[in-house]
Chain A
Amino acid sequence: MSLLTVEGLKISTDGRALVSDLSFAVGAGERMGLIGESGSGKSLTAMAITGLLPRNISARGSITLDGQQVIGAPERNLGQLRGSATAVIFQEPLTALDPLTRLGRQIEEPLRRRYRRDGLDPKTVKHEVLALMERVALPQPERIAAAYPYEVSGGQRQRVAIAMALACRPKLLIADEPTTALDVTTQAEILKLLDSLVRDLGMALLFISHDLPVVANVVDRLTVLRNGKAVEQGPVRDVLGAPKNPYTKTLVEAARAFDQALGRTP
């Protein structure tokens, strides 16, 4: 049985469908890419998986996460799933971090929760915070732990956000456009980091992006979303090598044309 199974997911607000009849599955340790233009319903799908859709947006269908039904589940059950089954990395690391809390404390918070959950010795939390910061390749972890978000660079903020997600030790890591707000060099570094972390820790990954080349390098399977519908699904090689859907074709061609214009071969 898959870690995450989405079946016939329908997300709507005021009778307007935002996502319709979406189905996909992510097995333990598997990497799935969810790709589509803005407004295609990617992020809403991620929020639905964590059970955190805004009040005026409702979801129907079925989402099973770690053997539990998410849609319609009581808040208490969802609270237990969040952090243990999933953790999310967001697009904009500046706004995803509390501006008035030191970075070390922000990593400590989910870590303490996991320690309580797993019955680990809370005395080692501080040490583990620094270890996590080293793990995500933050330089001078002690200095950055004492800093506020506005005092460090965008790439470092995203590393802190990744450390916070890792602190939860989730089975499924959801990365919602994690590199979109970063410059190209930093983007490549963060992608490499995510890639190695997911591999080393055996987490499953749901990678959400509008950027085809970015997704293609990180995931095994792709789901292409358009206007809230899945238009194509399959292994990366198949989807990109021989796209069947016209929309996917234009996406692939656009990426290819872009690469040729830059003098790169895909």
Chain B
Amino acid sequence: MSAIAAAPVRRSRRSWLFAIGLILVGINVAVALLTLVWLPYDPSSTAGGRLEAPSLLHWAGTDRLGRDLFTQIMIGSRIALMVGAGAVAIGAAIGVTLGVLSAFATRLLDDAFAAAFDILIAFPTLLLAMLVVAASDTASLGSAILALGIAISAIVARLTRILAKRVIGMDYITAARTSGTSWPQIVIKHVLPNIWPTLLVNFALQFGLAVIAEASLSYLGLGAPPPNASWGRLLQEAQGTVYTAPFGAIAPGLALLILVIGINLSADGLRDIGDPTRRGSR
């Protein structure tokens, strides 16, 4: 009784959360696009006073050099989205390919793949990022994206492998085989569509994690070098003055929080859309 009564309430609350998530992500995307054509201040202009508190002129205050923080946070949202999208794209392309191959491979090869994924997942992302940076001579936005993409690909590959293996064992795959469907056709028409909803949710979660990881990398100086105003670098720059001008750390932190919460809330809603059995009943 209670379960029946609770279901619609939970569903509608879920769709509310999905809407809030989309709005938060949407705001970030809109701001990121806006930075391409308009900024409130020149990001390198040091015209403002040093370490000013938030005011009508400077919404998030100014940094040590008198630059407008809100402008830098806006640019940071563009960088965060670029890193998230780039890393997830690389991770998805490599991960889904390897995962599907592994699921179809012979026992021995599959075991080798699975072990490789596990080792890569156990490898610290920061260390991996340092290796990529070391290999590419300088820290850049590209090296951060590549490092995070590789880290994500292992997680995606392992998930894809498990999901694909489960689908391959289903009767409808055998049924498709008996009517003469080739393996590539089965992957495209049956395996991928059936694992896609779960993968999509995972991509969204990885996107959020990548945004946070990029902030960590930038904080350590392994991400986008100046003058790229990554949120992680803003946090690092504000560290020295966090007691006298706390808003310098709070503002980029809040921006990061808003984007990641938005992404995580969207992730759940995405799963409902991908699954027709949930779609109709919402």
Give the contacting residue for B175; candidates A55, A80, A96, A167; CB below 8 A. Answer: A96
Question: Is there a chain A Cβ closer than 8 Å to B181's Cβ?
Answer: yes
Determine whether the beta carbon of A95 is less than 8 Å from that of B178.
no
Given A95-B171, A97-B172 in contact, is the A82-B194 Cβ separation under 8 Å? Answer: no
Give the contacting residue for A110; candidates B171, B172, B180; CB below 8 A. Answer: B180
How far, in whole Å, are A86 and B175 apart by their CA atoms in the complex?
A: 12
Question: Is there a chain B Cβ closer than 8 Å to A115's Cβ?
Answer: no
Determine whether the beta carbon of B179 is less than 8 Å from that of A95.
no
What mask results when residues 249 to 269 of chain B are scored 1 for a CB within 8 Å of chain A, else 0? Answer: 000000000000000000000
Give the contacting residue for B178; candidates A88, A92, A148; CB below 8 A. Answer: A88
Nearest A-chain residue to B181, judged by Cβ: A109
Which B residues lie within 8 Å of A82 (CB)?
Answer: 177-180
| Interface set, chain B 170-225, CB cutoff 8 A to A | 170-172, 174-182, 189-190, 193-194
Q: Which of B107, B174, B189, B193 has the most CB of A within 10 A?
A: B174
Q: How many A-B residue pairs have CB under 8 A?
A: 76
Determine whether the beta carbon of B178 is less than 8 Å from that of A87.
yes
Question: Is there a chain A Cβ closer than 8 Å to B276's Cβ?
Answer: yes
Determine whether the beta carbon of B180 is less than 8 Å from that of A84.
yes
Nearest B-chain residue to A98, judged by Cβ: B172
Closest approach, in angstroms, between the C-beta of B200 and any C-beta of chain A? 13
Which size class do A's interface residues fall under?
A: 20 to 34
Determine whether the beta carbon of A100 is less than 8 Å from that of B180.
no
Determine whether the beta carbon of A50 is less than 8 Å from that of B178.
yes
Nearest A-chain residue to B170, judged by Cβ: A95
Which A residues lie within 8 Å of B276 (CB)?
Answer: 100, 148, 150
How far, in whole Å, are A80 and B182 apart by their CA atoms in the complex?
A: 10
Closest approach, in angstroms, between the C-beta of B165 and any C-beta of chain A? 13
Given A92-B171, A96-B172, A97-B172 in contact, is the A87-B193 Cβ separation under 8 Å? Answer: no
How far, in whole Å, are A174 and B182 apart by their CA atoms in the complex?
A: 20
Determine whether the beta carbon of B190 is less than 8 Å from that of A98.
yes
Determine whether the beta carbon of A101 is less than 8 Å from that of B189.
yes
Given A90-B171, A98-B172, A98-B194 in contact, is the A168-B189 Cβ separation under 8 Å? Answer: no
How far, in whole Å, are A97 and B176 apart by their CA atoms in the complex?
A: 9
Closest approach, in angstroms, between the C-beta of A21 and any C-beta of chain B? 25
Which B residues lie within 8 Å of A97 (CB)?
Answer: 172, 175
Question: Is there a chain A Cβ closer than 8 Å to B45's Cβ?
Answer: no
Which B residues lie within 8 Å of A110 (CB)?
Answer: 179-181
Which A residues lie within 8 Å of B181 (CB)?
Answer: 109-110, 113
Question: Is there a chain A Cβ closer than 8 Å to B277's Cβ?
Answer: yes
How far, in whole Å, are A148 and B277 apart by their CA atoms in the complex?
A: 9
Closest approach, in angstroms, between the C-beta of A177 and any C-beta of chain B? 12
Question: Is there a chain B Cβ closer than 8 Å to A79's Cβ?
Answer: yes
Question: Is there a chain B Cβ closer than 8 Å to A11's Cβ?
Answer: no
Give the contacting residue for A99; candidates B174, B175, B189, B194; CB below 8 A. Answer: B194
What mask results when residues 76 to 117 of chain A are scored 1 for a CB within 8 Å of chain B, else 0? Answer: 000111111011101010011111110000000110010000
Determine whether the beta carbon of A168 is less than 8 Å from that of B171.
no
Which A residues lie within 8 Å of B180 (CB)?
Answer: 79-84, 110, 113, 168
Nearest A-chain residue to B195, judged by Cβ: A100
How far, in whole Å, are A53 and B175 apart by their CA atoms in the complex?
A: 13
Q: Which residues of B contact A (CB under 8 A)?
A: 106-107, 170-172, 174-182, 189-190, 193-194, 275-277
15 contacts between A and B (CB under 8 A): A50-B177, A79-B182, A83-B178, A84-B180, A87-B178, A87-B179, A96-B172, A96-B175, A97-B175, A98-B176, A100-B194, A101-B193, A109-B189, A113-B180, A150-B276
Can you list the 9 inter-chain pairs with the closest CB atoms, starting with the nearest? A83-B180, A82-B180, A95-B171, A88-B178, A110-B179, A96-B171, A96-B175, A83-B179, A98-B172
Q: Which residues of A contact B (CB under 8 A)?
A: 50, 52, 55, 79-84, 86-88, 90, 92, 95-101, 109-110, 113, 148, 150, 161, 164-165, 167-168, 174
Given A52-B174, A98-B193, A148-B276, 16 extra CB contacts under 8 A? A50-B178, A52-B178, A82-B177, A83-B180, A88-B178, A95-B172, A96-B171, A98-B176, A98-B189, A99-B277, A100-B193, A101-B189, A109-B181, A110-B179, A113-B181, A150-B277
